[in-house]
């Protein structure tokens, strides 16, 4: 495999800064540091009924980003969803548009780090030799202590894990199509439903199952030293996530 075997999936939805396009421009710029020519499928979500007061700003944002896709950017294909579809349904609608065996999923406010290299050949070899279904690029320099129980050792620069996150990750199209998406709720965050299924199968009764892990082959890219290879621009800026646990997390309108 080589870099040409990767299609980037870039999801974007309404945020407080819209119609400003600075954040998505930064994310695209950071992607292009690593993958300058690969196709980007940009998923542009529709508005929730609760967010109709943002319609004017969001429509202007979409107009600006579509103009950039047409006149400024290279090899970005936008898919505009008229109805609110969220991560799960946008992926279901666009998965067959991916013509490569691998996808790199990136949320609009969670770019790759542009100033630290990723050994893409080493990552691609993990897929070539069927050692991985997914490799995530961590957003902190080390694994936090509270997450260590979800980690199962480092092998040649990759950490075995039962922790699914929607932060930037490289995955096979077939794994997403056959395992991830069928396990997700309609019109919802992918992470919020899939992480539970994955942990149940890798850590049944809180005990590590090698058979369970082999079903998912989930890793974190973990070179020596600083493992941070993505970061967060905080597009939501503390506003509502629109899930049942908003009150728990203190999200506001």
C-alpha angle 125-129-130 in degrees, rounded to nearest 5: 115
At which residue do the structure tokens 């946008």 appear?
90
Please state the pTM of the whole predicted model: 0.93
What are the counts of helices (DSSP H) followed by strands (DSSP E) for the chain? 8, 9
pLDDT at 10: 98
State both tokens at 93.
Answer: 């609608």
DSSP assigned state of 223 = -
Q: Tell me if residue 65 falls in helix, strand or coil.
A: helix
For the ranges 47-51, 53-57, 160-164, which has the lowest average pLDDT? 47-51
Give me the mean pLDDT over the 1-21 stretch. Answer: 96
CA gap 126, 132 in Å, rounded: 5
The average pLDDT across 72-100 equals 97
Q: Are 94 and 10 in contact (CB under 8 A)?
A: no
**What are the pLDDT digits (tens) for 95-112?**
999 999 999 999 999 999
pLDDT above 90: residue 37: yes
**Pair of tokens at residue 22:** 């600075």
Burial of 95 (0-12, 13-18, 19+ CB in 10 A): middle
- The answer to whether 76 touches 69, Cβ cutoff 8 Å, is yes
pLDDT above 60 (res 13): yes
For 234, residues 6+ apart whose C-beta sits below 8 A from its C-beta are 109
């Amino acid at each position: 495999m080589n870099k040409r075997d990767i299609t980037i999936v870039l999801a974007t939805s309404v945020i407080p800064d819209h119609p400003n396009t600075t954040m998505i421009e930064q994310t695209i710029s950071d992607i292009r540091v690593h993958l300058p020519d690969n196709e980007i499928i940009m998923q542009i979500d529709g508005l929730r009924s609760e967010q109709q007061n943002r319609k004017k700003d969001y429509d202007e944002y979409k107009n600006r980003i579509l103009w950039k896709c047409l006149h400024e950017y290279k090899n970005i294909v936008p898919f505009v969803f008229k109805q609110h579809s969220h991560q799960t349904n946008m992926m279901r609608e666009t998965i067959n548009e991916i013509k490569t065996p691998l996808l790199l999923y990136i949320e609009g406010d969670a770019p790759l780090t542009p100033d630290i290299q990723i050994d893409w050949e080493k990552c691609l070899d993990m897929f070539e030799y069927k050692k991985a279904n997914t490799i995530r690029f961590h957003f902190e320099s080390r694994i936090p202590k509270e997450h260590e129980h979800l980690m199962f050792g480092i092998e040649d620069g990759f950490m075995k894990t039962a922790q699914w996150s929607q932060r930037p990750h490289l995955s096979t199209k077939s794994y997403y199509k056959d395992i991830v998406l069928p396990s997700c709720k309609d019109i919802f965050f992918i992470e919020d439903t899939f992480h539970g299924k994955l942990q149940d199968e890798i850590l049944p009764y809180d005990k590590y199952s090698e058979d369970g892990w082999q079903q998912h082959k989930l890793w974190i890219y973990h070179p020596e030293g600083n493992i941070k290879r993505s970061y967060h621009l905080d597009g939501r800026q503390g506003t509502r996530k629109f899930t049942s646990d908003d009150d728990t997390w203190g999200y506001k309108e």
